[in-house]
Chains A and B, each alone.
Chain A
């Protein structure tokens, strides 16, 4: 079978603030035999615009996505919410397109398309996993991320209490309803701390930025790491915090 031609949709947030996650996706997918491309014309899926009520501002971004990612076997995003925006909402904004239908969140792509659960990773840390709302309820990734994490050597997986409760990020919700968002964050952090984990993992850097921002403010000693970075980590080249 020829190597699948995969377009990496890094998402604007990860591209700008968390480049180590996108580099990890490249490393991981190439290790799994994919031919990974990063179309330089990509920008943003328009989720923030759409979800805040700016549909007209989101529409050209959906059109741009369809054009930029035309012709790939699959498009992979290290994000359930941006992936959900593309697959579930872009068709409503721009009409159907192969680029939308072939877009996958990372764990979906690895488990469903590549048919792999053991990606040969090594990550010797105590980790707890937060299933992000859009990956869970919009895309329905189910336990795929957990199946991938369970196969990681050295990883001590701690179950997160009340895991499926929202962390309170919600895009502009975190600013427009900052008090309520913070109350939700407080409960999420309490659950994370109760696990005794040193690393909180999720498939969305947006949620991780929110929870991590709170964990860092309180000097909790818990770090947030995107699923891609854990799966990319190997014994030969283990994960290290970005300077």
Chain B
């Protein structure tokens, strides 16, 4: 429970949160259905491109260039945005970013802002901060709206309400909307949301968005989406405020070619997303007449200083790693206690929190069997297992001396010498006398964590090395 709102205050450590989630049968079914569907669609969409591997490599190389020269590109985008009539703000952390947005909204004289789906604003807890300042933030992405109206938390990067099914969504809408949905048919649910949101779009004076990409050369900001609700926010209000993580830059317009192929196929399994909105500063007489770009650090430069961990900053928030993750599939996103769940969350959240003494953050890198499915699908080739193991080493270091560390050191000492190892084998082999069936079904803690669901084979009387010595030695 750090001070960075990227993890939710009071969230239990992952194993504990997971235990509760695993018992939620409705959640398990919703997630299994959703993740398997999108997983299969993604692999088909990706298989269509003969140069997918080259695209991934290009994505990796472009992002690595941005991260290595971030200072240059940031100054470049600041100059470009300013030249086109925008205002650039720099926010060191969540608190600074929230204060900037709150001040700008107050200056615009509004008590309500409409929001484009955005991970950066979720990361900094902007809605809560605006609320505390007397300004309502209205989510306009359908899934974000479901989460907001349900007084719930997101569980997925792309589909924050993935843990809800149609019947649950209908209940939320019936409770919270003036015009109730006619049924739980997708059409009726969408119609209810459309009516609810249309009024907001037409009355809003201020919109807040995130950004998928910021083009350093031109100062153009790019948002990709499926519903068109984002575009309503980006075009109708007088004032547009965009909160963008500093790692979201691409050097030039041309680089978008790579990412606009990688992102939709990886996230929604579409060849192209329905809406791509691009704007550059302010255009007189067309769209918002005030544009503010808030460049957000919030732990990113700390992550950048970590040679192994920094690759997490390549992330383009596609969610492909969540959809293929066997842990995510079963626990859902809320168990991660952060707006960034799944494999990417397990490596990004602890780095943004940047405090391995925080027990919840330190539990996240262990929320993986290291199966590697995430790395295989990542469009920018983030070696997630490598970063997980790297962060585990940091967690171990932060914890200092524990029963586990003493045990690990003892094992390493035994393995350092083959004779010690063989003696340990002989002692361990005596356990076979306790299990005449050849299977052990109950062990004392911490072995009980294994035998709670699985037997262990009793060690045989003769190890392989003893057999080798007897027959071949």
Query: Given A55-B393, A179-B22 in contact, is the A185-B449 Cβ separation under 8 Å?
Result: no
Q: Which of A10, A138, A174, A178 contacts B465 (CB 8 A)?
A: A10
Within 8 A of B (CB), among A1-59: 10, 12, 14-19, 22-23, 38, 40-44, 46, 48-55, 57-58
By the criterion CB–CB under 8 Å, are B371 and A170 in contact? Answer: yes
CA distance A184 to B28 in the complex (A): 12
Query: Given A50-B389, A137-B372, A177-B366 in contact, is the A216-B449 Cβ separation under 8 Å?
Result: no
Stretch at the interface among B123-131, B205-213, B221-229, B405-413: B405-413
Contacts of B197 in A (CB 8 A): none
By the criterion CB–CB under 8 Å, are B366 and A176 in contact? Answer: yes
- Chain B CB within 8 A of A210 CB: yes
Interchain nearest-CB distance for B422 vs A (Å): 9
- Chain B CB within 8 A of A182 CB: yes
- Chain A CB within 8 A of B253 CB: no
Residue pairs across A and B with CB atoms within 8 Å: the count is 184
Interchain nearest-CB distance for B173 vs A (Å): 31
Query: Given A19-B460, A209-B456 in contact, is the A181-B369 Cβ separation under 8 Å?
Result: yes
Stretch at the interface among B13-21, B159-167, B175-183, B295-303: B13-21
CA distance A164 to B371 in the complex (A): 10
Contacts of B468 in A (CB 8 A): 38, 40
By the criterion CB–CB under 8 Å, are A44 and B370 in contact? Answer: no
Q: Which of A38, A179, A217 contacts B441 (CB 8 A)?
A: A217
Mask, A209-240, CB within 8 Å of B = 1, is 11011101100000000000000000000000
CA distance A61 to B457 in the complex (A): 26
Contacts of B369 in A (CB 8 A): 133, 166, 168-171, 173, 181, 184
- Chain A CB within 8 A of B2 CB: no
Contacts of B408 in A (CB 8 A): 49, 52, 54, 57
By the criterion CB–CB under 8 Å, are A213 and B372 in contact? Answer: no
Q: Which of B412, B459, B467 contacts A61 (CB 8 A)?
A: B412
- Chain B CB within 8 A of A183 CB: yes
CA distance A55 to B391 in the complex (A): 11
Query: Given A40-B418, A168-B326, A179-B19 in contact, is the A57-B409 Cβ separation under 8 Å?
Result: yes
- Chain A CB within 8 A of B92 CB: no
Query: Given A42-B418, A177-B15, A177-B327 in contact, is the A137-B389 Cβ separation under 8 Å?
Result: no
Contacts of B457 in A (CB 8 A): 17-18, 209, 212-213
Within 8 A of B (CB), among A152-179: 164-166, 168-179
Contacts of B392 in A (CB 8 A): 51-53
Contacts of B19 in A (CB 8 A): 179
Contacts of B326 in A (CB 8 A): 165-166, 168, 184
CA distance A41 to B396 in the complex (A): 29
By the criterion CB–CB under 8 Å, are A14 and B454 in contact? Answer: no
By the criterion CB–CB under 8 Å, are B428 and A51 in contact? Answer: no
Label chain B's interface by main secondary structure: helix
Interchain nearest-CB distance for A93 vs B (Å): 12
CA distance A16 to B456 in the complex (A): 13
Q: Which of B404, B417, B452, B472 contacts A38 (CB 8 A)?
A: B472
Contacts of A16 in B (CB 8 A): 425, 428, 459, 463-464
CA distance A169 to B408 in the complex (A): 19
Contacts of B450 in A (CB 8 A): 174-175, 178, 213
Question: Interface residues of B toward A: which range?
Answer: 35 or more
- Chain B CB within 8 A of A60 CB: yes
Mask, B423-459, CB within 8 Å of A = 1, is 0010010000000000101000010011011111101
Contacts of B15 in A (CB 8 A): 176-180
By the criterion CB–CB under 8 Å, are A19 and B464 in contact? Answer: yes
Interchain nearest-CB distance for A19 vs B (Å): 4
Query: Given A61-B415, A64-B416, A178-B449 in contact, is the A133-B372 Cβ separation under 8 Å?
Result: yes
By the criterion CB–CB under 8 Å, are A137 and B455 in contact? Answer: no
Q: Which of B371, B372, B464 contacts A15 (CB 8 A)?
A: B464
Contacts of A133 in B (CB 8 A): 369-373
Interchain nearest-CB distance for A135 vs B (Å): 11
Interchain nearest-CB distance for B376 vs A (Å): 6
By a beta-carbon cutoff of 8 Å, the part of chain B in contact with chain A is 14-15, 18-19, 22, 326-327, 330-331, 365-373, 375-376, 389, 392-397, 404-405, 408-409, 411-412, 414-418, 421, 425, 428, 439, 441, 446, 449-450, 452-457, 459-460, 462-465, 467-469, 472-473
- The contact sample of 24 A-B pairs, CB cut-off 8 A, is A16-B428, A18-B457, A19-B464, A38-B464, A43-B418, A52-B404, A53-B365, A53-B397, A54-B393, A55-B393, A57-B408, A57-B409, A57-B411, A133-B370, A134-B372, A137-B373, A137-B375, A164-B373, A168-B326, A170-B371, A176-B366, A180-B15, A183-B22, A217-B453
With A49-B411, A175-B450, A177-B14 already in contact, 12 other A-B pairs whose C-beta atoms are closer than 8 Å: A15-B465, A16-B463, A19-B463, A38-B464, A43-B416, A43-B418, A50-B389, A57-B408, A173-B366, A177-B18, A182-B452, A209-B456
By a beta-carbon cutoff of 8 Å, the part of chain A in contact with chain B is 10, 12, 14-19, 22-23, 38, 40-44, 46, 48-55, 57-58, 60-61, 64, 133-134, 136-138, 164-166, 168-185, 209-210, 212-214, 216-217, 242
